A and B are shown apart, each in its own frame.
Chain A
């Protein structure tokens, strides 16, 4: 059975990456794919955007064709130990489990490879066509991508090392893995996304990331010279804000090559509505 496609969605905090991850998953499911959405941090962001369904470590179907799960520490440790590490018969499992838990808390890379191992093993399970991962924000996401290499430096041999090497190959395979970074066209998100892309490319951490600009305003059709005809008051104030934001977003959109834009959603409040509406507009090469 062919591996499922793995799509990691990351981005600077506050740019709407959970919304975009949820929208990507919803869109793919609408197109008849068997989709698994994974919340990698064990937080509530993805769940809220999938209409508040409570997620567990086992996949739950949240709508036809779309299942979701959240990675929690104990579930991931347990699974890693049982199904991946292949502890020799007669070994003191309870103590090794305790040792692994301590390592996950102290040794660099260990927690990361255990967490990132879950999307990869789900992608290999044959149950899904696509696995969409709501990943940690930029800095932490890079630590996850770096983890296999860190492990390789730390342990010369053994099962942990072997598993890490397998992960590294899978994460770098551009035919089966893609990275999408969500940014908004403003100073910090643009610059931090640029830095992340440079690091990912320079250190060969994964396939070339694709940038999605979120919360992009459509041009209002007004120009600066129109402002003086709008009198004083809200009409002019709102037009001024719109034009200032248009200037700002054009400036930053020019700084960063992007493959797609998603609109600013006026007056939409609940995360579930945001994800549905973005899914209507998302149109990405898959």
Chain B
């Protein structure tokens, strides 16, 4: 049985690096681990020894069974259409310009595709562990809500607004309900957008039954996964982390931990005001002391933020040290999360 670790959080907190680092630590000869990533920075791709990452999993040299694959959102949507739509309808959908725009138009599209991909890997049982790096949309929340949103999108609710009918068959919509109204609206809006959109939505609706079953399956996997929220001390990620807990509070998604990235040592806070001995150069002494004071005030702020998150949401917070530049080797990736204690604590 495949176990799944989901790393979520706001954009810019280092989710992709942390996912790779977790994968690098979790993998073993007898525990093949796939890191399903979104869009790795050049340096991270370099650290993994990859020229280019694609949709097909690649084994990472220098690890005991770590694999990586990148999510190509548009290719995944095509795969979903091929898999779940009737061949004729699928052909029409793929050629439709509204479908082309779907990934942009439906903010959770990439998130849905990521969930679908995750589910496929779980079902093939090819890997023992899958680490999923989530798309940044909606501060990571979209990934968890995307199956329900996809279900809504295909349920025909939009069609119903458009036609005001109870959704009879394709021909009937054209003949009795939609046409006159579409003509008037198209004239006002400068058509023929509406009839094209109607065509598109009718085709999309044919996938509803399968997508609805599929969404529930994906939601099932999401509730069984170990979810880790990544954050830094910056105001936006902290805000997104709070939003994550408050919006998903009532659902079955219970994050197991917070990974607090770019965390400064708490030890700096206490020593910042101690006298300094053994530095003869007065200019250097003053500069080094002023520097430590600045960083200590930052460490204090981070520590307060971490305590508050932990107390408010009753989850352990694991610190990941601030290293710059970002890790450039597999070893340094492993060190990054190995010291945080999260691996043992979550029994990953």
Which residues does A use to contact B, with CB under 8 Å? 12-16, 18-19, 44-45, 48, 85, 87-88, 91-92, 95-96, 98-103, 105-108, 110-111, 137, 143, 154-161, 187-189, 191, 220-222, 226, 229-231, 233-235, 237-239, 241-242, 244-245, 248, 266-271, 274
Given contacts A234-B271, A241-B324, contact A95 B184 (CB under 8 A): yes
Please state if B295 and A266 are interface contacts (CB–CB under 8 Å). Answer: yes
A114 CB to nearest chain B CB (Å): 12
A-B contact pairs, 10 of them (CB 8 A): A14-B13, A14-B234, A14-B237, A16-B234, A99-B194, A100-B185, A107-B101, A107-B197, A187-B43, A237-B268
- B162 at the A/B interface (Cβ < 8 Å)? yes
A-side binding surface: helix, strand, loop or mixed? helix
A95 vs B188: C-alpha distance when bound (angstroms): 11
B272 closest partner in A (C-beta): A234
* Chain A residues in 8 Å Cβ range of B98: 106-108
Q: B11 near A12 (CB under 8 angstroms)? A: yes
Judge if B169 is at the interface, Cβ distance under 8 Å: no
Check B291–A88 contact: CB distance below 8 A. Answer: no
In Å, the complex CA distance between A97 and B19 comes to: 44
Of B200, B281, B296, B325, most A-chain CB atoms within 10 Å: B325
B235 touches A106 (CB 8 A): no
What B residues does A101 contact at CB under 8 A?
161
Q: Say yes or no: A108 contacts B97, CB within 8 Å.
A: yes
Number of interface residues of B (CB under 8 A): 70
Picked from A14, A98, A188, the residue with its CB within 8 Å of the CB of B41 is: A188
Contact of B300 among A45, A88, A267 (CB under 8 A): A267
Whether the pair B291, A222 counts as a contact (CB closer than 8 A) is yes
State whether B324 touches A88 (Cβ < 8 A).
no
B158, A226: Cβ atoms under 8 Å? no
Return chain A residues, CB-CB under 8 Å to B184.
91-92, 95-96
| Interchain CB contact under 8 A, A159 and B190 | yes
The contact of B296 among A220, A230, A238, A274, by CB within 8 Å, is: A238
Verify A226–B190 contact, CB threshold 8 A.
no
